């Protein structure tokens, strides 16, 4: 894995058959390019998650769709050796964007909870965060890469069932 540190804008310009100046006109640094790549990935993931959750009707199916879509989106980049490096770059250099991305997931879970009858309160938002924490094993890029090839579907189904029961009982 070469990562963002080894990113070479000249090599990128050559592969795109562009001048180096043209690349620098759009991206003044390799950090700016990495940030834009990460921003595009986050937009793609947010859109995919919103669509997946919107198509489902039950609390259980919405939660499961959210987790599976996050995993699917992360797996799309699993073949890219430098994807984790871009993820690390964003966490280190663009923490506000990383927090906004997490906030989007939190809003999706809170919306699932609201649709099940939970009020729009700080407590509900905190519970949505707790639910996301519980699902992190299945949605964290590092955990996914460590568990590649292991069938975790039964564990995921059990956890989503427990969480959806919790959401539905609190209403």
Task: Give the tens place of pLDDT for each residue, 90-121.
Answer: 888 888 888 898 999 999 999 999 999 999 99
With tokens 């923490």, the residue in question is 95
pTM: predicted TM-score of the whole model, two decimal places: 0.83
136 pLDDT more than 60: yes
Q: Which tops the pLDDT comparison, 132 or 148? A: 132
d(CA 13, CA 10) in angstroms, rounded, equals: 5
Residue 48: what pLDDT? 96
Environment class of residue 52 by beta-carbon count within 10 Å: exposed (0-12), middle (13-18) or buried (19+)? buried
Contact call for residues 98 and 90 (beta carbons, < 8 A):
yes
- What is the model's pLDDT at position 12? 74
Average pLDDT value for residue range 131-135: 94
Q: Which two tokens stand for residue 125?
A: 């938002």
- pLDDT beyond 50 at 168: yes
Q: What is the structure's pLDDT at 2?
A: 58
Residue 7, pLDDT > 80, answer: no
Structure tokens at 62: 């919405």
């Amino acid at each position: 894995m070469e990562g963002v540190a080894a990113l070479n804008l000249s090599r990128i310009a050559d592969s795109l058959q562009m001048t180096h100046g043209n690349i620098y006109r759009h991206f003044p640094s390799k950090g700016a390019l990495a940030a834009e790549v990460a921003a595009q990935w986050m937009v793609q993931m947010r859109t995919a998650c919103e669509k997946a959750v919107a198509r489902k009707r039950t609390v259980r199916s919405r939660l499961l769709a959210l987790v599976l879509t996050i995993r699917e989106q992360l797996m799309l980049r699993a073949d890219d050796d430098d994807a984790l490096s871009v993820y690390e770059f964003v966490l280190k250099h663009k923490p506000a964007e990383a927090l906004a991305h997490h906030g989007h997931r939190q809003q999706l879970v809170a919306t699932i909870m609201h649709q099940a009858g939970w009020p729009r309160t700080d407590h509900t938002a905190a519970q949505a965060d707790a639910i996301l924490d519980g699902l992190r094993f299945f949605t964290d890029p590092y955990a996914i890469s460590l568990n590649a090839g292991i069938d975790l579907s039964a564990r995921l189904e059990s956890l989503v069932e427990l969480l959806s029961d919790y959401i539905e009982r609190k209403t």
